[in-house]
Amino acid sequence: MSLPAAGSGYAPGVPKILVIDDQPAVCVALTTLFELHGLEVRVAATPDAAIAAVLDDELGAVVQDMNFRQSATSGEEGMELLRRIKSIDPELPVVAMTAFTSIAGAVELIKAGASDYVPKPWDDQKLVAVVSNLARLRSLEQENARLVAQRGRARHRLAERHDLGGLVYASDAMHEVVSLAVKVAPADVPVLITGPNGTGKELLAGIVQANSRRRDRPFVKVNAGALPDELVEAELFGAEAGAFTGAARLRIGRFEEADGGTLFLDEIGTLSLNGQKKLLRVLQTGEYQRLGSSVTRRADVRVLSATNRDLPRAIAEGAFREDLYF
């Protein structure tokens, strides 16, 4: 972090204005004017000194004359200096000043990259307003660019250290969610992911699984909301042959299939109350029985679930079990 020199009298973040003019009286007048309005000023009397200042200093804006010799009135020197400044820092605001004004000249200046055009003699209030606004806008743009770069580095670090499954995102909100996902991933606890359709809930579940201690074990996905009530038990816990009409052979349930790994239950908010009851039992005890069997089996499974439903509201309406939610 850079700090102002001792005795400079300027707080950090005060825009610095570069005044470029070959007339000492003009430089003194502009310096006094800008300093009275809280702006720090650096002065250059020649184009070469001005270029050195642009290369050397952090500037908020430039106020430049268009002629640097008493005999010069064409503005060519100023135009060339403007182009050189813009080649070094295209985003640096430049306000051109000259006693020789014309519409054609103003158009050429804007085309060359000048931010504004002020005739001599100038209006103090207008000049200060123009320069201050340009310097503050540049400061905001630089801060925005710094924050964008900072966020980009944070996303890159996260992707370098964790398996994000190719997820691409830009928003701060998504970065917080993804960071939370990789943070909870090593903890072998159930995770509920909520949000509207299309917000990447299944992708987040995949990130949790990929960064967990069970990453190399089975990852089984089930659309819980699509399970008919009469098939929930058979689908989740399995069924012995003959357990129900049409069950001609042993059916392995999803908990058994995911043994040692992770089970992702999508759309859990639409699971029937009967299904919720059976799911709660296995989550509480870690035990289940195949349909048609009296043998109790243990489930070594981490459960991830997702829903687009407002579960607290569903609880209040009696459509979702409060004990399962908590």
Asked which of 110, 145, 180 is the last residue of a domain, the reply is 145
Does residue 6 lie within any of the structural domains? no
Does residue 85 lie within any of the structural domains? yes
**What pLDDT was estimated at residue 302?**
96
Does residue 151 lie within any of the structural domains? no
Q: Do both 248 and 294 map to the same domain?
A: yes
Q: Do both 138 and 191 map to the same domain?
A: no
pLDDT in tens, 261-283: 999 999 999 998 888 998 999 98
**What are the contacts of 44-50 at 24+ separation with CB within 8 A?**
44/18, 44/19, 44/20, 45/20, 45/21, 46/22, 47/20, 47/77, 47/80, 47/81, 47/84, 49/20, 50/18, 50/20, 50/81, 50/85
Distance CA 164, CA 186 (A): 14
Q: Do both 203 and 274 map to the same domain?
A: yes
Does residue 9 lie within any of the structural domains? no
Cα-trace Rg, the chain: 34
Domain that holds residue 202: 172-325
Does residue 291 lie within any of the structural domains? yes
Kindly tell me if the per-residue pLDDT of 106 is higher than 80.
no
Q: Do both 181 and 273 map to the same domain?
A: yes
Q: Do both 99 and 230 map to the same domain?
A: no
**What pLDDT was estimated at residue 72?**
59
Copy the structure tokens of residue 321. 């079990």
Q: Do both 141 and 239 map to the same domain?
A: no
Distance of alpha carbon 181 from the chain centroid: 16
Identify the H or E element spanning 239: strand 238-239
Question: Is the model more confident about 33 or about 245?
Answer: 33
Does residue 262 lie within any of the structural domains? yes
Q: Do both 184 and 308 map to the same domain?
A: yes
Q: Do both 129 and 31 map to the same domain?
A: yes
Q: How many domains does one find in the chain? A: 2
Asked which of 109, 126, 145 is the last residue of a domain, the reply is 145
**103-112 and 76-88 are packed helices; what angle lies between their axes, rounded to 10 degrees?**
20
Does residue 159 lie within any of the structural domains? no
Question: Is the model more confident about 112 or about 49?
Answer: 49
Phi and psi at 68, nearest 5°, equal -120, 10
**What pLDDT was estimated at residue 225?**
83
Taking residue 146's Cβ as centre, other Cβ atoms within 10 Å add up to 10
Q: Do both 237 and 290 map to the same domain?
A: yes
Kindly tell me if the per-residue pLDDT of 6 is higher than 80.
no
Does residue 5 lie within any of the structural domains? no
Distance of alpha carbon 117 from the chain centroid: 37
Asked whether the beta carbons of 204 and 193 are under 8 A apart, the reply is yes
pTM metric for this prediction: 0.70
Q: Do both 69 and 110 map to the same domain?
A: yes
Domain CATH number, residue 101: 3.40.50.2300
Q: Do both 318 and 179 map to the same domain?
A: yes
3-state secondary structure of 12: coil
Distance CA 213, CA 215 (A): 6
DSSP secondary structure letters along 162-228: S--TT-----HHHHHHHHHHHHHTTS-S-EEEE--TTS-HHHHHHHHHHTSTTTTS-EEEEEGGGS-
**What pLDDT was estimated at residue 111?**
82
pLDDT in tens, 123-149: 999 999 999 999 999 999 999 999 999
Domain CATH number, residue 299: 3.40.50.300
Kindly tell me if the per-residue pLDDT of 166 is higher than 50.
yes
Asked which of 128, 145, 162 is the last residue of a domain, the reply is 145
Q: Do both 200 and 96 map to the same domain?
A: no
Task: Return the top range by mean pLDDT from 6-20, 25-39, 57-71.
Answer: 25-39
